C-alpha cells in the first residue's frame, strides 16, 4: 500500500511553523496507529508541536483524527441526560468519588472514565481499588447497563477508545513533550468526546501540585479544551481551581476513600465539600438541570445511596473495612502560630514515596499508604502537635518521604490572604 504522505515532510512542515493540512493530520494519526510512522518520527513531530504550537483548527482536526482511530460510545438510549467531569490531576483530589453519585442522585447519568496515578498525582481507579472486590474493567455493555440502573459508573477506558491517544500518551511521557498544550488538550478531549457524554465540566488545576503551575498556562489549556468540546457539540465548561494546597486532609488511596465516604455522610473537609457541590452544580446546569440543588442530595443521604449501589454494581463491598498501613510516623509542628502554607507538590511526592503512587505505569501501589494532614492553611497550631501522619507498609520509606517534606509548610504569627478554591470559569 502506498502512503499518501511522507512522515518527514509532515515533521518539516511543523518544524518550519507551517499549519498542517487536514489531510496531513488525518494521515499521520492513522499511520502512527498502524505503525507506519515510527515512534522516533512521532517524537520529532510532538516536539515541533511543543515548540511551535498549533492553530485552533489544527487542534480540532488532530482531536477528531484521534477519535476516529477507535470506537465512539453512544448513550442516547438512556432515559436521562449525561454529564461528565475531568480533572487535570492533583494531590488529595478525590472529588470524583463523591461527585459521580451526587450528580446521579440529582437525575443526571455520569459515565466517568478514569485513570491511574503516575508520579505525585493520585489516580481515581487506584483509590477505588482499595475497596475489597471493586473492579475497574467493564465492557461497554456493562457500563451502559449500570448507567441505566444506578446512574453512575467510574471505570477504566476500554482499549477501543481513542487508541491513537494511548500510544501517543506513552510516547510523550518519555520524550519531554507532555507539556505541549495542543497535545494535552487533544489527549483529554479525544477520550471525553469519544466517550459520548452530552456535557462535560473540566477541573483545570493550578498551583505547585498541579500539572499547570500558573494561571495563564492553565487558562490557555482550559480555553483550548472548551473550544474543542464546543466544536464537537458537547456542552463544555471549565473551572480553574487551586492546587497549591492539597485537597482535603488526606493524600493516598484508602485514606481518600474514607474521606470521600465522610463527605457522602454529610461531613468531611470544607474544601472537598465546596468543590464537590460547585462541580455538581456545573454538571447539572450543563445537562439542563440547573433547578436542582445538589447540596440537598448530599445532606439527605441520596448521594450515599447511589455510592453504595455504584460500588456494589462493580463487585465492591461498601461496608468492608478498608486497608490500613502497617506503620505510621507523626511529624509535629515546629512552632506556634498559624499554618499559612502547606505545599501540595511536596505532600504529593511524600505520599508517592510512601507507596501510594507509582513511578511507572506497571508499578504496584499500596492501598493504605499516604499522608494524613491534621491542619490546613488558616488553622492555628501549637509547637509539638501532630501536623502530618505518614502511612506505609514499608517503614524504610519514611526517610525519603520526610526528605520531600523539608520546608513544605510555613507557620507564621498571623494568617495571610487565602487563595479562593475556584480561581476562574471558562465557557
**pLDDT tens-digit profile of 244-290?**
999 999 999 999 999 999 999 999 999 999 999 999 999 999 999 99
Q: Evaluate if residue 80 carries a pLDDT over 90.
A: yes
* C-alpha to C-alpha distance for 133 and 314, rounded to whole angstroms: 8
pLDDT value, residue 2: 82
pLDDT band at 374 (very low <50, low <70, confident <90, very high): very high
pLDDT band at 121 (very low <50, low <70, confident <90, very high): confident
Name the residue ranges covered by the structural domains of the chain: 7-53, 83-313, 327-412
pLDDT value, residue 258: 98
pLDDT value, residue 358: 80
- What average pLDDT does the segment 142-150 reach? 96
For residues 365 and 356, is the Cβ–Cβ distance under 8 A? yes
Sequence length of the chain is 427
Q: Evaluate if residue 226 carries a pLDDT over 80.
A: yes
Does the pTM exceed 0.85?
yes
pLDDT value, residue 96: 97
Q: Evaluate if residue 293 carries a pLDDT over 80.
A: yes
Q: Evaluate if residue 120 carries a pLDDT over 80.
A: no
Task: Name, of 85-89, 212-216, 322-326, the range with top average pLDDT.
Answer: 322-326
> Which residues are designated catalytic?
86, 165, 172, 187, 191
pLDDT value, residue 307: 98
| 114 vs 387: which has the higher pLDDT | 387
Query: If one looks up domain 327-412 in CATH, what number appears?
Result: 3.90.1170.30
Backbone phi and psi for residue 199, each to the nearest 5 degrees, phi listed first:
-140, 155
Domain at 83-313: CATH architecture: 3-Layer(aba) Sandwich (3.40)
| 22 vs 419: which has the higher pLDDT | 22
* C-alpha to C-alpha distance for 155 and 132, rounded to whole angstroms: 15
Domain at 7-53: CATH architecture: Up-down Bundle (1.20)
Q: Evaluate if residue 173 carries a pLDDT over 90.
A: no
Q: Evaluate if residue 1 carries a pLDDT over 70.
A: no
Residues 159-190 as b or e (16 or more Cβ within 10 Å = b)? eebbebbbbbbeebeebebeebbbbbbbbbbb
For helices 39-52 and 22-34, give the axis angle rounded to 10 degrees: 140
pLDDT value, residue 179: 84
Classify strands 386-392 and 370-373 as parallel, antiparallel or unpaired.
Answer: antiparallel
Amino acid at each position: 500500500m502506498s502512503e499518501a504522505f511522507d512522515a518527514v515532510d509532515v515533521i518539516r512542515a511543523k518544524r518550519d511553523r507551517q499549519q498542517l493540512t487536514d489531510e496531513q493530520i488525518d494521515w499521520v494519526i492513522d499511520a502512527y496507529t498502524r505503525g507506519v510512522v515510527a515512534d522516533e518520527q512521532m517524537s520529532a513531530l510532538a516536539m515541533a508541536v511543543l515548540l511551535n504550537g498549533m492553530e485552533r483548527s489544527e487542534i480540532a482536526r488532530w482531536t477528531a483524527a484521534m477519535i476516529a482511530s477507535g470506537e465512539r460510545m453512544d448513550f442516547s438510549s438512556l432515559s436521562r441526560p449525561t454529564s461528565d467531569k475531568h480533572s487535570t490531576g492533583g494531590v488529595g483530589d478525590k472529588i470524583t468519588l463523591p461527585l459521580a453519585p451526587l450528580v446521579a442522585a440529582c437525575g443526571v447519568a455520569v459515565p466517568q472514565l478514569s485513570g491511574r496515578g503516575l508520579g505525585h498525582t493520585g489516580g481515581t481507579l487506584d483509590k477505588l481499588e482499595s475497596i475489597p472486590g471493586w473492579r475497574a474493567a467493564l465492557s461497554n455493555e456493562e457500563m451502559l447497563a449500570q448507567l441505566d440502573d444506578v446512574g453512575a459508573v467510574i471505570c477504566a477506558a476500554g482499549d477501543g477508545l481513542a487508541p491513537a491517544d494511548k500510544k501517543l500518551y506513552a510516547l510523550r511521557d518519555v520524550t519531554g513533550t507532555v507539556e505541549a498544550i495542543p497535545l494535552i488538550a487533544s489527549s483529554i478531549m479525544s477520550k471525553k468526546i469519544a466517550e459520548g457524554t452530552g456535557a462535560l465540566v473540566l477541573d483545570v488545576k493550578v498551583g505547585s501540585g498541579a500539572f499547570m503551575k500558573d494561571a495563564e498556562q492553565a487558562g490557555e489549556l482550559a480555553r483550548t479544551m472548551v473550544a474543542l468540546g464546543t466544536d464537537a457539540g458537547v456542552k463544555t465548561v471549565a473551572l480553574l481551581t487551586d492546587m497549591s494546597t492539597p485537597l482535603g486532609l488526606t493524600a493516598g488511596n484508602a485514606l481518600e476513600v474514607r474521606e470521600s465516604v465522610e463527605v457522602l455522610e454529610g461531613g468531611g473537609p470544607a474544601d472537598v465539600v465546596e468543590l464537590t457541590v460547585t462541580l455538581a452544580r456545573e454538571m447539572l446546569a450543563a445537562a439542563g438541570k440547573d433547578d436542582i440543588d445538589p447540596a440537598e442530595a448530599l445532606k439527605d443521604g441520596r448521594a450515599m445511596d447511589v455510592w453504595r449501589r455504584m460500588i456494589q454494581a462493580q463487585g465492591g463491598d461498601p461496608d468492608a473495612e478498608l486497608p490500613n498501613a502497617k506503620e505510621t510516623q507523626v511529624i509535629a509542628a515546629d512552632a506556634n502560630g498559624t499554618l499559612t502554607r502547606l505545599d501540595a507538590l511536596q505532600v504529593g511526592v511524600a505520599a508517592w514515596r510512601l507507596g501510594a503512587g507509582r513511578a511507572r505505569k506497571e508499578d504496584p501501589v499500596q492501598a493504605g499508604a499516604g499522608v494524613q494532614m491534621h491542619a490546613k492553611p488558616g488553622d492555628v497550631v501549637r509547637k509539638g502537635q501532630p501536623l502530618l501522619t505518614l502511612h506505609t507498609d514499608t517503614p524504610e520509606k519514611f526517610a525519603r518521604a520526610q526528605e520531600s517534606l523539608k520546608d513544605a509548610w510555613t507557620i507564621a504569627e498571623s494568617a495571610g490572604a487565602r487563595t479562593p478554591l475556584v480561581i476562574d470559569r471558562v465557557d
